[in-house]
Chains A and B, each alone.
Chain A
Amino acid sequence: MPFLCTAALSIDLSRNLVQQKYAELNYTAPDSFSAALADRSDYWTRKNQFDAFHKRLSDLTSLPENWDAEDAARPTSVALDATRNALLAMQELGVMPERISPSVEGGVAVSFLRGRNRAFIEFYNSGEIVAATYEDEGEPVVWEVEAIDAMNRAALDRIHVHLTG
């Protein structure tokens, strides 16, 4: 993790230095060059965020039974593995979750938020997956999903369109 932070910082510094040099020469850096550096910086930022989500998921393995004092089951390996696979697909598609949390219904919940647009995926301990898109008002759109991974991205595509639409 320190290496990743250092790498991201290094890219930001490089970009600043390049822009500074161009400014000294009273010259504007080509857009394509700046964009390429920005893309690399965004990549590392995104990678760091997804690393944090994977860490959060690992932390959920140590939750005790009845973790919510209301008899909630701890997330099982079925729910955790399904969420882990989905996270890899989200990272590839650039669909950034807002939060990963244990569900009181037994499993793992992933929440998404962009402005007024929200989405929610629940990975149940039973292996079932349910996704939803919604806004501050109106009926949520809820559907069952067979799998979310590198080969099954339809639900994430739908969520991505909702969040960015």
Chain B
Amino acid sequence: MLSGDRPIINTFDPTEQLYMRYRIEQFLNGHLDPAAIRADGQSVNRSTLSEPEDTLFHEQGRYNGWGVVAFEVAIIPKEVPQAQGPSYTFFPIHVPLDVNYGHSEIAADHIPSTGTLKKPSKTVAVAFRINLSRYITENSIRILAAG
């Protein structure tokens, strides 16, 4: 789990699973509440470099009682348009932490690509969060959060 000298690997297969922390009250009628998802830098862990339990590791036990859901890279919205301004694309990036090599984030850029990360507008952010939340159901739960 320690990163050590291991490299950043920014290749994600569409079928790779991403693990995300959740709390029991963040489910609403079988779906994850959009209010529980960040549009800018949502923290996840990738399945090729970690286990679901690694997502909850914290030296001070910060995530005790939290649960873990899993979803495929493929469900991350590839294009989110808006009425005014550029469309956005969302994608995972590998952001290893010292004690969590598999740590990654969901980032965004404009379409066409600017080659940098762009913070999405508020309307794009809400559309992204709603789209992602629809795929994260109770079937996505890998570790059940404490009730």
Q: Which of B3-11, B33-41, B68-76, B95-103 lies at the interface?
A: B33-41
Q: Are A144 and B123 neighbours in the complex by a CB distance under 8 Å?
A: yes
Known: A98-B28, A99-B28. A140 touches B127 (CB 8 A): yes
In the bound complex, residues from chain A placing their C-beta under 8 Å from that of B34 are 109, 111, 120
Q: Which residue of B lies closest to A129 (CB)?
A: B122
Q: Are A124 and B62 neighbours in the complex by a CB distance under 8 Å?
A: no
Across chains A and B, the number of contacting residue pairs, with CB separation under 8 Å, is: 73
Say which residue of B21, B25, B28, B35 sits within 8 Å of A122 (CB atoms): B35
CA distance A68 to B28 in the complex (A): 17
In the bound complex, residues from chain A placing their C-beta under 8 Å from that of B40 are 105
Say which residue of A104, A130, A136, A143 sits within 8 Å of B36 (CB atoms): A104
In the bound complex, residues from chain A placing their C-beta under 8 Å from that of B62 are 69
CA distance A150 to B127 in the complex (A): 27
Q: Are A132 and B29 neighbours in the complex by a CB distance under 8 Å?
A: no
CA distance A123 to B123 in the complex (A): 12
Is B50's beta carbon under 8 Å from chain A?
no
Please encode chain B, from 32 to 63, with 1 for each CB lying within 8 Å of some chain A CB and 0 for all others: 01111111100100000000000000100011
Q: Are B28 and A104 neighbours in the complex by a CB distance under 8 Å?
A: no
B contact residues, range: 20 to 34
Q: Are B122 and A103 neighbours in the complex by a CB distance under 8 Å?
A: no
Most chain B Cβ neighbours within 10 Å, of A101, A132, A142: A142
Number of interface residues of A (CB under 8 A): 27
Say which residue of A98, A113, A142 sits within 8 Å of B126 (CB atoms): A142
Q: Are A132 and B33 neighbours in the complex by a CB distance under 8 Å?
A: no
Q: Are A120 and B25 neighbours in the complex by a CB distance under 8 Å?
A: no
Taking CB atoms and an 8 Å cut-off, the chain A residues in 31-54 that contact chain B are none
In the bound complex, residues from chain B placing their C-beta under 8 Å from that of A120 are 34-35, 126, 130
Q: Which residue of A lies closest to B83 (CB)?
A: A143
> What are 23 inter-chain pairs, A to B, with CB distance below 8 A?
A69-B66, A98-B29, A99-B28, A102-B35, A104-B36, A105-B35, A105-B40, A109-B35, A113-B28, A113-B29, A120-B126, A122-B122, A130-B122, A130-B123, A134-B134, A136-B134, A140-B131, A142-B124, A142-B126, A142-B127, A143-B83, A144-B122, A144-B123
A residues whose Cβ falls under 8 Å from a Cβ of B: 68-70, 98-99, 101-105, 109, 111, 113, 120, 122, 124, 128, 130, 132, 134, 136-137, 139-140, 142-144
B residues whose Cβ falls under 8 Å from a Cβ of A: 21, 23, 25-26, 28-29, 33-40, 43, 58, 62-63, 66, 82-83, 122-127, 130-131, 134
